[in-house]
C-alpha cells in the first residue's frame, strides 16, 4: 500500500524527492507522479482528517478502482466536458458509452452504475452548475 498522505505531508515539509522515496520505500518516479497529480488536481496540505490513503488514491486515480471490475473504464473528464454542452444529458452519454463498449467487445456499466460512478467523481471534484448568460443581462443578489 502506498502511503499517499505521508508522501504529500513530507513534500509539504520541504523534504527532497530522494528523502521521501527512501522513507516511504517507493521509487522517485512514483513519488514525483503522486506529487504532480496532487498539485494538478488541487490537493494541498494541510490534509483534512477524512483524507485517508484510500480516499487520496481514489481521488488521484479514479480509474484504478473501476478497472478492477473487468468493465470498460469511464472517461470522467470527457463526460464532464460533454455535459457542459447544450442538449447533452447523462442518458445520451451513457448510450454513447454503451455503443463504444459494444464496438470494442467490452462489458459496459449499467445506467444506474454509470450515474453512481459519475456522481462520486462530481462530488470529489466539486462540479458546479454552469450558467450561460450575457454579462449585465440579469442581476443576481445573494
Helix (H, G, I), strand (E, B) or coil at 101: helix
**Phi, psi torsion values for 6, nearest 5 degrees:** -65, -40
- At 14-25, the pLDDT tens digits run 888 888 888 888
Within its chain, how far is the Cα of 55 from the centroid?
11
What is the pTM assigned to this prediction? 0.48
Both 17 and 36 in a single domain? yes
Structural domain contains residue 138:
no
Is the pLDDT confidence value at 37 over 80? yes
Both 115 and 71 in a single domain? yes
Both 48 and 15 in a single domain? yes
Per-residue pLDDT at 127: 56
Q: Write the DSSP string, 50-70.
A: T--HHHHHHHH-HHHHHHTTT
Both 51 and 80 in a single domain? no
Share of the chain above pLDDT 70, in %: 87
Per-residue pLDDT at 61: 78
| Cell triple for 17 | 524527492
Structural domain contains residue 136:
no
The answer for residues whose C-beta is within 8 angstroms of residue 94's C-beta and 6 or more apart is 111, 114, 115
- Give residue 92's pLDDT band: very low, low, confident or very high (50, 70, 90): very high
| Least confident window among 2-6, 110-114, 122-126 | 122-126
- At 42-87, the pLDDT tens digits run 777 777 777 787 888 878 877 666 555 567 788 888 888 888 888 8
d(CA 20, CA 10): 7
Structural domain contains residue 49:
yes
d(CA 110, CA 124): 21
Both 79 and 96 in a single domain? yes
Share of the chain above pLDDT 90, in %: 9
- Give residue 96's pLDDT band: very low, low, confident or very high (50, 70, 90): very high
Structural domain contains residue 130:
no
d(CA 130, CA 112): 24
Do 114 and 96 form a contact (C-beta atoms < 8 A)?
no
Structural domain contains residue 117:
yes
Give the residue numbers spanning the domain of 105.
67-124
Within its chain, how far is the Cα of 133 from the centroid?
28
Helix (H, G, I), strand (E, B) or coil at 137: coil
Amino acid at each position: 500500500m502506498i502511503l499517499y498522505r505521508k508522501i504529500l505531508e513530507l513534500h509539504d515539509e520541504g523534504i527532497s524527492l530522494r528523502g521521501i522515496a527512501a522513507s516511504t520505500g517507493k521509487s522517485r518516479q512514483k513519488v514525483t507522479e503522486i506529487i504532480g497529480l496532487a498539485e494538478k488536481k488541487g490537493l494541498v496540505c494541510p490534509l483534512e482528517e477524512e483524507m485517508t490513503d484510500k480516499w487520496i488514491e481514489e481521488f488521484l486515480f479514479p480509474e484504478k478502482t473501476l478497472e478492477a471490475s473487468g468493465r470498460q473504464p469511464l472517461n470522467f473528464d470527457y463526460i464532464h466536458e460533454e455535459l457542459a454542452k447544450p442538449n447533452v444529458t447523462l442518458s445520451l452519454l451513457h448510450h454513447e458509452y454503451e455503443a463504444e463498449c459494444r464496438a470494442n467487445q467490452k462489458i459496459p456499466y449499467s445506467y444506474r452504475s454509470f450515474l453512481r460512478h459519475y456522481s462520486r467523481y462530481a462530488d470529489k471534484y466539486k462540479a458546479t452548475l454552469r450558467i450561460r448568460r450575457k454579462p449585465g443581462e440579469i442581476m443576481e443578489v445573494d
